[in-house]
Structure 1
Amino acid sequence: MNDVSRNTLEPVGGKHGVALFAATEEEARHFGEQLLRLGHSSDMAMSGGIASAIGWTSSNPPPTVLLVDLDGDPLPLQSIQDLIEVCDPACQIIALGSRQDIDLYRTLLHSGVFDYLSKPVPLDLLASVLSRAQGHALGEIQSARSGRTIAVTSVSGGGGASTVASGLALLLSTQRHSSTALVDFDRSNGDLALLLGYEGDAGLAGALASEEIDARFLQRAMGRINDRLYLLAQEPSLYADANFSTEHLLTLGASLCRMFNQVIWDLPAGRPQGSLDVLAHAQTRILLTDFTVQDARNSHRLLREIGDESAGQHLLLVANPSRQGQAGIVERSQFEEFVGRPVDLILPHAGQVLGDSLLTGALHLPSAPAFQAALLDLADLACGRPLRKQAPGTGLVGRLKSALTRNRSAA
């Protein structure tokens, strides 16, 4: 889970707090948006890569943290040495790039680079590394983060959070091959076990009741869904006690992050004890809403409660039309104006197809292909990956046109 830290990197001794040199203009704009969301100046995200960074550093006050993109440089290690020679020794250099090469990473660290980030860089990871770099510049030692927490909740009851959370977990574990844990925090009416086809207790009650969190206990107690997906849940009970501390719950979350790459929490809309604390510390927060007056009011209230993204916590407002046909629907533009932020993604209405699939077993996402594709987009957004770009003519309409063309050609 995220340790809430300082929101911004203040300039030290008149220096720039953060300067970033991306390989292209498009990437510079993207990184500029991320810096702005973290409370920095977007003007300090420039293009030109490491070559521009060398020229800029030679004639400007040194920043506290300097990020340089190595993509497109034929001799990145030599360029790093050239940058180090002209850069202030107190400046922390962070390299960016598309190469996932452990030898390159080790060589960069031996050269004096603070860290190397593989693109695309999730907002929360960028915030975490910037915070550690600033702490290092001030003589502080901060541990690197391991796994990450994704909290999913509806602004109102019946918003489909359990379906979305279970769908994300399935897609991350199967399509994105990520080691994933799924926590069903609805201890009274949880249904993730039903959605995933798992029977029996899955360790949550024992984990909350234990005095200490034991990783070996969690491994044995959690329900195994597939090779990369494990469920932490309990048998639903109307008398589920709340005899656990917030600190104990956050320790549980931190332990899961050390065991898994992605930890998804399904948080009930009723906000039981601990759910707001999980939201406050999650790296990615997904709020599900519908375009209704009630959900607009609830979204506005919850957004004020949990704050913005300046601490590096990625916030996604997602419209899930689970109440299709309900009265009181408002226009998207009116909804966004009222809540004060845009909707990041709209999930297509899946109808009764997914519910019907439970009659024969676990949730079957391929029975609703449009919903599954949108969920995969949401999974990528939650993990900081860019959305997949569809080629012209793809999608359902494009496939139908291609099929009709082939039929006419055959005739």
Structure 2
Amino acid sequence: MITYQQQPAAGPDTIVAGDPDDYIAPVPRISVQAFCETAEAAAAVQAAAGDRRMIKAHVRVQMGGMAAATEAYRSSPTPNVILLETDTGGEEILAELDVLAEVCDAATRVIVIGHRNDVGLYRELVRRGISEYLITPVSPVDIVRAVSTLFHAPSAKPVGRIVAVVGAKGGVGASTIAHNVAWAVARDLGLDAVISDLDLAFGTASLDYNQDPPQGIADAVYSPERVDTAYVDRLLSKCTDHLSLLAAPATMDRLCDFSAESFDPVIDALRASVPCVVLDVPHVWAAWTKRVLVGADDILVVATPDLASLRNAKNIIDLLKAARPNDRRPLYCLNQVGVPKRPEIKPPDFAKALEDEPVAIIPFEPQLFGTAANNGQMIAEVAASHRIAESFRHLAQLVTGRAESKKSRAGRLPPLLGKLFAR
């Protein structure tokens, strides 16, 4: 919280005397964008980005203050954290924040760097949901501490969103969809993401991403006493700047008879350090798969337009709806639609039986998917402008809570206005 005393400038590794807590926890794998009005504030943010505790964060510094931020986010998603410098106060700053709220995404946390030591303004900003208000001049350590506190304070929400993708039956392409959605989350939304392959014996994530990591999720699952965020971080294989892979060994030298809680330490460690975690859940029904699905923030069921998929998808969705009465109902998509000469259940009939519309209908394109699979590429790498690549971008927006249009979000941004995001 803000202390109404200006602090002397400090180096990036200096702890200012009198701080209430000398320990600053490392910042998780998040994206941070700063919009500054003065060169001094921009320099402080840039120095903070080089701090050892910010090594996992992606930080970008721009000039222009709130006006530049509002313009930037009219056409692009917002990051995990926005740093805003402003020299205004009173009703003017509140009006600027209201305009910014119209184009911001729901989960973004906001830190304001102001030039006015105003207790009344601070209280109003806190009431509206602003995460922190810092008074200039700010040091790099002030910024590192403010960002760290957002994710490590006792009252802080977990940084990560867990998305579980599961097939209604085997062979429906759930893993392919999970891998492409994770890719879209990282590439198109700019969020740091991890794709975790939970099929230890037959997982294909390492093949799809053309990776051959020496270690992966099996190391954590079979040694739960070693699991923490640092250990899991060492197991990750980097696919892109924003996407990492927690691969399955795809070997059969050990049986995969797991207890219900076997994956809890791994998922908890990922949730604490990565904004988006996509779980590729195998099509098996066991205590641990049920627990993983029930505990996810969002669930995507992948089905093909046939009777077995319809029955299984309905059973899965009905069970999860009952087990998660206070959460959004599981989403589902139809894959491999339009196979030549194959009788299919039409999407409207599928939707009527499930009492919900599919969030995506992905056509049967064997040439496109086969080429991507054999090359170890994603669909967007093979054909970026293809309508299927656009479907994956849409799914990425949906499972991360960013699917609404900018205009429809006006006045509904929690952390700026403190209202709940419509799920």
Fold in common (TM above 0.5): yes
- Distance change (3 Å), C-alpha of 1:383 and 1:107: farther
Superposed displacement of residue 221, structure 1? 1.7
Q: Counterparts in 2 of 1:169-248, with a 5 A limit?
A: 169-210=182-223, 211-242=225-256, 244-248=258-262
Q: Counterparts in 2 of 1:13-52, with a 5 A limit?
A: none
Matched-pair contact (CA < 8 Å) for 1:183–1:263? yes
Amino acid at match of 1:342: E
Matched-pair contact (CA < 8 Å) for 1:202–1:231? no
Amino acid at match of 1:150: V
Structure 2 residue 360 is matched with structure 1 residue 345: yes
> Residue 146 of structure 1 aligns with which residue?
159
- Distance change (3 Å), C-alpha of 1:351 and 1:103: same
- Distance change (3 Å), C-alpha of 1:297 and 1:328: farther
* Aligned-partner Cα distance in 1 for 2:236–2:156: 27
> Residue 263 of structure 1 aligns with which residue?
277
Superposed displacement of residue 295, structure 1? 1.0
> Larger helix proportion, structure 1 or 2?
1
Paired residues in the alignment total 279
Structure 2 residue 377 is matched with structure 1 residue 357: no
Amino acid at match of 2:355: G
* Aligned-partner Cα distance in 1 for 2:218–2:123: 46
* Aligned-partner Cα distance in 1 for 2:306–2:120: 54
Superposed CA deviations along residues 107-147 of structure 1, whole A, max 9, x for unmatched, are 87733527359xxxxxxxxxxxxxxxxxxxxxxx8652211
Amino acid at match of 1:174: R
> Residue 331 of structure 1 aligns with which residue?
346
Matched-pair contact (CA < 8 Å) for 2:213–2:247? no
- Distance change (3 Å), C-alpha of 1:326 and 1:339: farther
Helix, strand or coil at the partner of 1:299? helix
Q: Counterparts in 2 of 1:5-16, with a 5 A limit?
A: none
Amino acid at match of 1:191: T
> Residue 381 of structure 1 aligns with which residue?
398
* Aligned-partner Cα distance in 1 for 2:101–2:325: 21
Superposed displacement of residue 330, structure 1? 1.5
Matched-pair contact (CA < 8 Å) for 1:286–1:316? yes
Matched-pair contact (CA < 8 Å) for 2:195–2:243? yes
- Distance change (3 Å), C-alpha of 1:354 and 1:115: same
> Residue 279 of structure 1 aligns with which residue?
293
> Residue 367 of structure 1 aligns with which residue?
382
- Distance change (3 Å), C-alpha of 1:284 and 1:148: same
Helix, strand or coil at the partner of 2:159? coil
* Aligned-partner Cα distance in 2 for 1:274–1:107: 50
Amino acid at match of 2:177: V
Q: Counterparts in 2 of 1:302-313, with a 5 A limit?
A: 302-307=316-321, 310-313=325-328
Superposed displacement of residue 168, structure 1? 1.1
Superposed displacement of residue 357, structure 1? 3.3
Superposed CA deviations along residues 332-352 of structure 1, whole A, max 9, x for unmatched, are 222222223222221233322
* Aligned-partner Cα distance in 2 for 1:359–1:352: 11
Give RMSD over aligned pairs: 3.2
* Aligned-partner Cα distance in 2 for 1:290–1:271: 19
* Aligned-partner Cα distance in 2 for 1:109–1:326: 66
Matched-pair contact (CA < 8 Å) for 1:347–1:375? no
Superposed displacement of residue 314, structure 1? 5.4
> Residue 23 of structure 1 aligns with which residue?
none
* Aligned-partner Cα distance in 1 for 2:164–2:91: 41
Name stretches of at least 5 consecutive residues in structure 2 with no aligned partner: 1-89, 132-153, 407-423
Amino acid at match of 2:311: R
> Residue 43 of structure 1 aligns with which residue?
none
Amino acid at match of 1:172: V
* Aligned-partner Cα distance in 2 for 1:267–1:326: 30
Helix, strand or coil at the partner of 1:376? helix
Structure 2 residue 91 is matched with structure 1 residue 75: yes
> Residue 90 of structure 1 aligns with which residue?
none
Superposed displacement of residue 292, structure 1? 1.3
Structure 2 residue 178 is matched with structure 1 residue 165: yes
> Residue 127 of structure 2 aligns with which residue?
113
Structure 2 residue 260 is matched with structure 1 residue 251: no
- Distance change (3 Å), C-alpha of 1:78 and 1:382: closer
Superposed displacement of residue 325, structure 1? 3.4
* Aligned-partner Cα distance in 2 for 1:340–1:184: 30
Superposed displacement of residue 319, structure 1? 1.0
Amino acid at match of 1:266: D
> Out of 102, 107, 126, which is 2:111 matched to?
102
Superposed displacement of residue 315, structure 1? 2.4
- Distance change (3 Å), C-alpha of 1:252 and 1:292: same
Matched-pair contact (CA < 8 Å) for 2:205–2:248? no
Matched-pair contact (CA < 8 Å) for 2:232–2:266? no
101-110 vs 193-202, which moves further: 101-110
* Aligned-partner Cα distance in 2 for 1:366–1:388: 26
* Aligned-partner Cα distance in 1 for 2:165–2:199: 12
> Residue 417 of structure 2 aligns with which residue?
none
Q: Counterparts in 2 of 1:54-65, with a 5 A limit?
A: none
